[in-house]
Structure 1
C-alpha cells in the first residue's frame, strides 16, 4: 500500500512540474515500451501529427519505459484523469473491458489482412468504444504482430512437443487456457523476470512476437523459435474519458485523426522491426521452425468453445469477425 501511495504522489509531482500557463494543452502519454520499439515510433508519429494539426495548441508529453508505472497502473491513472493517453496490450485491457478478451482468441484472424480489416472496420471501432463506460476510450489499434513459442532446450514442432513444458504466459486467462489446451503447463510470470527464469530452467520457454523476443534478449537463452502464430493480440492507444470530455469538438477531431495516421505509420515500423529481429535471431544461431499451424489451430479450438460457453453475450461479435 505504501509503495502505491508513493507512486501516486510521484505521478502528481511529475504532472504538476510539466504544466504550462501559455494556453497550450498538454496531453501526458505514458507507456511501458523502450524508445527503440516500433510502437513507440508510432506514438512519436501521433505526437508529431497532433502538434501539426493543432498548430501547437495540443502538446504531447511522452513518458516511455514504464516511468509512470505498469500498464495496469497507467490505465488506472487514465481513469482518474492524471494521465491523458496510454498504449497497452489488448490482453491487459481485457481485465478492464471484457470485450477485448475476444482479440486474444487463438487463430481468430485468418491472416494479417483479415485482422486489420476487422480492427479498422465496424467491429474494431465498436470494441474501442466499449471502454468508455469504464472511462477508457479507445482511439486506434497498433500492430503487435503474432505471438509464437520459443524454448531453450526442446524444439516445438507439433502440439505434442509442448507436453510437460513450463511456458511463461501473461497473467491473462485466455493465454493460460491456450497453453493448457495445447498440452503445456502455463506459468504466469512478470516479463522482467523471464530472461533469468529461462536461463535457470525455472520455465522451459515463453511466447511472444519477434521484436519482443529479440529486444528482450530472450534469443540469447532460447535457441528454438516456432512460428505457430497462435494469437495476434493488438496494442491499443487509449484516452481517458475525463481528459477526452475536456476537449472541444475540434480538438477531439485532431486527436482522433492523429491517432489514425499514427496507426498506419506504425504498421510500417512494425514490419521493418520483424525483418530485423528475425535476421538477428538467425545470426545468433536460433533455429526458426515453420510448423503446420493447422495442428495447433485444431487443438486450441476448445479455447474458443469454452469462451463462448462462458460468455454467450460475445458470440455475436465473434461470429461477425469470423464471417468478415
Structure 2
C-alpha cells in the first residue's frame, strides 16, 4: 500500500493536482482513526495506465490514508474480476464490493440508465456532467439503490467514434454488413442497427482478439480506450463520428457501504467527490494528446460529416425515448 500511495502522490505532483484541500484535511490532522480494519475488493475492466484506473487507484490510496490504513481496498484491473456485466452481478450478490461500470451495462438492470446511451444526446462534456451531478443523475442513482447498488462517483470519458480494420467510415452506408462490437446496452444495439451495422456485444477485454481474428470488423469507443488497450495495433481506421458521449459510474454494494462506520462512510464519500473532480482534470489533460499518438502509431484518422449519422439515428429516439419518461426532456433542458 505504501508503494501505491507513493505512486499516487508522485502522479499528483507530476500533474500539478495537489491543492491545499487535498494536502490537508480533518482526517490528516488526527493522530489516529478509530475503527475496525476493513478489506474490500474493487474491479474494473481496463489496464492500470488508463485515466479511469489512475483515478480509481488514487481513490483507493486516499481512502487508506484517511482511515489510518484501516480500510484496505484491493483492486482487480483488466477484467480480473470479470467483464462489466459479471462485475455488476457480483456486486449485487455481495461477492464484489466496488466496481467501475458503464451506464450501458447498468441499463441492463435499471433500463432508465439507457438515456445516457442515446446517440448525440449531450452537447458536450459539461452538459453530460451537469446531467449526472444534477437531478437526473440523482434520480437514476436512487433507482439503482433499489437493486442494492450505490453510486459513489461518476467519471467522464471522451466521445465514442468508429474504428475499423479494413476501411474508414465516411457515411452510414459504410457500416452496412459490418460486425461492430458494442456493449449489451439496448440503446447502443438499436443505434448500431439504425446505422446499418450488425451489433455484436462483446466484453472489452475480448475486443483486441476479436479485432485481430475478424470476429468483429470494428468497434466504437473513445480514443483513450483504443490507445490504452492497444487496439490501434489491430485496427487501422478511426472515423470521428462522435456518436456517443457516455459517463461511467464507480458503484458500491449498498449493504457493504451501510455496514461501515459513519466515519468510514464519510471518508469514502468525500474521497469519491474529490476523485470525480480530479479524474475530470486528468482526463482532459491526457485525452488532448491521444489522437496524435494514435496517428503517429499508424491509425488513419478522419473527420466526418455528422449530419447523415444524426439523421440515421432519429429512429432510435422514436423507438426508445418513451422508455425514459421525462429524463430526456430534463437532459435537453439543462443549460
Report the TM-score when normalising by structure 1. 0.86
Is it true that 1:295 corresponds to 2:308 in the alignment? yes
Note the residue ranges of structure 1 that are not aligned, 5 or more in a row. 1-21
Once residues 111 and 120 of structure 2 are traced to their aligned partners in structure 1, the CA distance between those partners, rounded to angstroms, is 19
SS at the partner of 2:326? helix
Asked if structure 2 preserves the Cα contact closer than 8 Å seen for 1:148 and 1:226, the reply is yes
- Pick aligned residue for 2:329 from 304, 316, 319: 319
Q: Deviations over 1:81-132 (max 9, x none)?
A: 2332111111111112222111111111011111111111221122122211
Once residues 69 and 203 of structure 1 are traced to their aligned partners in structure 2, the CA distance between those partners, rounded to angstroms, is 21
Asked if structure 1 preserves the Cα contact closer than 8 Å seen for 2:43 and 2:75, the reply is yes
Counterpart position of 1:252: 265
SS at the partner of 1:245? helix
Alignment CA distance shift 1:220-1:82 (3 Å) = closer
- Pick aligned residue for 2:91 from 78, 88, 100: 78
Alignment CA distance shift 1:287-1:261 (3 Å) = same
Once residues 69 and 203 of structure 2 are traced to their aligned partners in structure 1, the CA distance between those partners, rounded to angstroms, is 39
Alignment CA distance shift 1:85-1:111 (3 Å) = same
Asked if structure 1 preserves the Cα contact closer than 8 Å seen for 2:45 and 2:77, the reply is yes
Once residues 58 and 109 of structure 2 are traced to their aligned partners in structure 1, the CA distance between those partners, rounded to angstroms, is 27
Once residues 200 and 62 of structure 1 are traced to their aligned partners in structure 2, the CA distance between those partners, rounded to angstroms, is 30
SS at the partner of 1:95? coil
Q: Deviations over 1:253-275 (max 9, x none)?
A: 22111111111111223223323
Asked if structure 2 preserves the Cα contact closer than 8 Å seen for 1:146 and 1:208, the reply is yes
C-alpha displacement at 1:323, in angstroms? 0.8
Is it true that 1:263 corresponds to 2:286 in the alignment? no
Asked if structure 1 preserves the Cα contact closer than 8 Å seen for 2:181 and 2:219, the reply is yes
Counterpart position of 2:185: 172
Once residues 68 and 187 of structure 1 are traced to their aligned partners in structure 2, the CA distance between those partners, rounded to angstroms, is 22
Note the residue ranges of structure 2 that are not aligned, 5 or more in a row. 1-34
Once residues 245 and 215 of structure 1 are traced to their aligned partners in structure 2, the CA distance between those partners, rounded to angstroms, is 35
Asked if structure 1 preserves the Cα contact closer than 8 Å seen for 2:100 and 2:248, the reply is yes
Once residues 284 and 264 of structure 2 are traced to their aligned partners in structure 1, the CA distance between those partners, rounded to angstroms, is 31
Once residues 38 and 205 of structure 2 are traced to their aligned partners in structure 1, the CA distance between those partners, rounded to angstroms, is 34
Is it true that 1:240 corresponds to 2:250 in the alignment? no
Once residues 184 and 51 of structure 2 are traced to their aligned partners in structure 1, the CA distance between those partners, rounded to angstroms, is 24
Asked if structure 2 preserves the Cα contact closer than 8 Å seen for 1:128 and 1:140, the reply is no
Counterpart position of 2:69: 56
Alignment CA distance shift 1:319-1:215 (3 Å) = same
Is it true that 1:144 corresponds to 2:154 in the alignment? no
Once residues 137 and 203 of structure 2 are traced to their aligned partners in structure 1, the CA distance between those partners, rounded to angstroms, is 29
C-alpha displacement at 1:200, in angstroms? 4.0
SS at the partner of 2:181? strand
Report the TM-score when normalising by structure 2. 0.83
Taking only aligned residues, the RMSD between alpha carbons, in angstroms, comes to 2.0
Alignment CA distance shift 1:152-1:248 (3 Å) = same
SS at the partner of 2:72? strand
Asked if structure 1 preserves the Cα contact closer than 8 Å seen for 2:83 and 2:203, the reply is no
Asked if structure 2 preserves the Cα contact closer than 8 Å seen for 1:79 and 1:242, the reply is no
Asked if structure 2 preserves the Cα contact closer than 8 Å seen for 1:156 and 1:162, the reply is yes
Counterpart position of 2:108: 95
- Pick aligned residue for 1:198 from 168, 188, 211: 211
Alignment CA distance shift 1:272-1:79 (3 Å) = same
